Amino acid sequence: MSRGKRWPYLGTILCAVKLGACACAGSGPRYLDTDEIRLRFADVRDQAVLLDAPGTTATNRWYANGRFVSEWRHGERHGRVTGRWYAKADQRCVLIDAAEDAVITEPRCGAISRQGEWLVSHNPDGSPHGRHIIEPLFSSP
């Protein structure tokens, strides 16, 4: 089984790498810069649908301290991934600490674009990885 088929949730995490691209009439993608990515992913919940692994969804929690937790589902299969994230060179990078017996110590970085209410994350090669809805992790009283 290929890594992409065995670890479908990794794409969700890696995909949510670069925020940007506004899908306004007549405008092309606008990618977020490093500071915008840091602000966008500080203490938020991300509901994701993978484009490159159809049928896979994930709920990701991105913390301002650089930690994240992802809970993914594909049919009856499900799992949990933990790790660290940071923004660099207008991309979001992730390192996986724990994912069902897998540890990935090399950072994976990618871009994110905006399309309406969705953020679209891209794989390191630029191909679309997933669609994401971002909301605050903590509600205001």
pLDDT tens digits for range 60-103: 999 999 999 999 999 999 999 999 999 999 999 999 887 765 66
Tokens 């306004």 -> residue: 24
List of E strands, 13-127? 44-50, 56-62, 67-74, 77-88, 91-99, 102-110, 112-115, 118-122
Residue 100 near residue 79 (C-beta atoms within 8 A): yes
For residue range 22-53, what is the model confidence (pLDDT) as tens digits? Answer: 334 446 667 888 998 899 889 999 999 999 99
| Domain count across the chain | 1
Let me know if residue 97 belongs to a domain.
yes
Tokens 């949510």 -> residue: 16
Reported as half-sphere exposure (CB side, CA atoms, 13 A), residue 112 has a value of: 36
Where would I find the H helices in 16-140?
34-40
**What is residue 139's predicted lDDT score, i.e. its pLDDT?**
72
For residue range 95-128, what is the model confidence (pLDDT) as tens digits? Answer: 988 776 566 678 999 998 887 778 888 999 999 8
Structure token pair of residue 96: 């996986």
Contacts of 24 (CB under 8 A, 6+ apart): none
Structure token pair of residue 114: 């905006």
**What is residue 113's predicted lDDT score, i.e. its pLDDT?**
83
SS3 3: helix
Q: Which CATH number covers residue 97?
A: 2.40.128
Which comes out higher in pLDDT, residue 86 or 10? 86
Let me know if residue 85 belongs to a domain.
yes
**What is residue 120's predicted lDDT score, i.e. its pLDDT?**
83
* DSSP code of residue 34: H
Which comes out higher in pLDDT, residue 63 or 4? 63
Full residue range of the structural domain in which residue 132 is found: 3-136
